Amino acid sequence: MSTFGKVNRGIATGANDFFCLTKTELKEWGITDQFVVPCVTKSRQISSHFFLEQDYLSLVEDGGPVHLLNVQKTPVESDAISRYIRHGEACGVDQGFLTKQRKYWYKMEKRVPAPILVNVFSRNKVRFIRNEAMVRNLTAFHGIYLHADYEQDIDVLMAYFLTDICQQLLSRQHREYGRGLKKFEPNDLTGAPVVDLNILTIRQKAEIVRYYEQFRTAELTKNNALQTDSLNALNHLFETIIRKV
């Protein structure tokens, strides 16, 4: 994987209850959109291989704490944010293990949204998610970023991540806990074998993307038969390519 991209852990806030706010909390504190960014905080918030903007908006309307505090300027130029920071200090948030190590305890690490997310823990298949909503992710997920030269192949790589052969190769990389619970660290994924994007022809990439788009449409429309057929086609394509190598 390191040939084509990198894997970063999710954002560690040190106090999710304070830093991740609901729509109602934003209104109560008078915090405007310029001081928050969209985020996902828990693996159960994403149930599909594709996370769309409408999925994020549904989390917002359902009262999810999916607005990550994003204060970048100091001194703070907002009365509402200043009040919220003082509230955090009154609750001892600034004395947490992570927060007290920061120069400004309330400032998050800078991280651009990852185009592909992957669950840190899994019991069966490792689940990769195409982050079409381009939201930030906390530590329930790792983020996969492609190097600039390969960004145009993001859907080809995502298609590979959906396949059985990817799951088989990944089975050598994980750390296993009790009752079949698997955990992947960023280095486990960075060192994982992936299809060589450099050897794929334009025709092969086009065919992969065609079946990938079929799979995406089928999953979003809950067309199980088409989803199975598309995934079978992707399995066959990648197995053929990898066996030839």
* Banded pLDDT at 79 (limits 50, 70, 90): very high
Percent of the chain past pLDDT 70, that is, above it, reads 96
| Residue 176 scores a pLDDT above 80 | no
- Average pLDDT estimate for 77-103: 96
Residue 174, pLDDT score: 61
Instruction: Render pLDDT for 47-57 as a digit per residue (tens, 0 to 9).
Output: 999 999 999 99
pLDDT tens, position by position, 113-125: 999 999 998 877 8
Task: Please report the pLDDT score of residue 30 as a whole number.
Answer: 97
pLDDT (mean) for 146-161: 97
What pLDDT is attached to residue 149? 97
What is the structure's pLDDT at 181? 83
Asked if the model's pLDDT at residue 69 lies above 90, the reply is: yes
- In our burial notation (b when 16+ CB lie closer than 10 A, e otherwise), range 4-17 reads bbebeebbebbbbe
User: How many helices and strands, by DSSP H and E, does the chain display?
Assistant: 9, 12
pLDDT at 162: 97
Alpha carbon of 113 to those of 54, 58, 233: distances in Å? 17, 19, 30
Mean pLDDT computed over every residue of the chain: 94
| For residue 177, pLDDT beyond 70 | no
